[in-house]
Amino acid sequence: MAYCGAPAGEAGGLQRQDVMINDAVPYICFRNHKERIMGKKRLERIIPLVDPLLGLLADHLSRADLNRNEPIFPTYGVGRHSSADRSKKLSKHIVNMRSGFDNSQLSPYSLQHTFRDRAVMAGVPSSVTEYLMGHRTKQSSALHERYGTGLPPQELVKWMVDIQEVTEHGHFHGESLD
């Protein structure tokens, strides 16, 4: 979720066939299937994988014995969980790296906004950010149509690397504005 701004349902519903680690450009495919329905008319999309998530997923998948249609994270999104139930499970894994701040301000949903802030700081075009997050806009839909037919995957890889390298971003309520 922090990696590409995906909502809890999209991240929790990943199946083994959605994650391609050994391709020339490793990627995650967010698409409709029996474990996940793309809500709010979200874009089906392909997101290139870079470190640190690439390494973490590769390690996780090397230890898991999964068939193509099996969920990668079966306890975080399989079945008919409500968004609130999924968020409660995922909230247990969020670590506040900013000492002295209120942990209750962080939630799985806040990770989507963190991604957007990091993309802005990395100078990623808004149409690319919208595409990566799965937001359907004229610009993201145009990018979606070009991806795979004209936009080189290396462009998205470059932007994902830039986003992952951002460490200072956004305003955090309670933080000094000096």
pLDDT at 21: 93
pLDDT digits (tens, 9 = 90+) for 85-142: 666 666 666 666 555 655 556 666 667 778 888 999 999 998 888 888 888 777 766 6
Q: In whole angstroms, give the CA distance from residue 125 to residue 79.
A: 35
Q: In whole angstroms, give the CA distance from residue 39 to residue 133.
A: 12
| pLDDT of 150 strictly over 60 | no
CA angle 20, 10, 36 (to 5 degrees): 95
DSSP for 131-156, please give it: HHHT---HHHHHHHHHBTTTB-HHHH
**Are 106 and 172 in contact, with CB atoms under 8 Å apart?**
no
**Are 50 and 70 in contact, with CB atoms under 8 Å apart?**
no
108-121 and 153-164 helices cross at what angle (nearest 10)?
110
Q: In whole angstroms, give the CA distance from residue 61 to residue 55.
A: 10
Average pLDDT over residues 60-87: 73
Mean pLDDT across the chain = 77
Residue 178 — very low, low, confident or very high, per pLDDT cuts 50/70/90?
very low
pLDDT digits (tens, 9 = 90+) for 159-177: 999 999 998 766 555 554 4
pTM listed for this prediction: 0.76
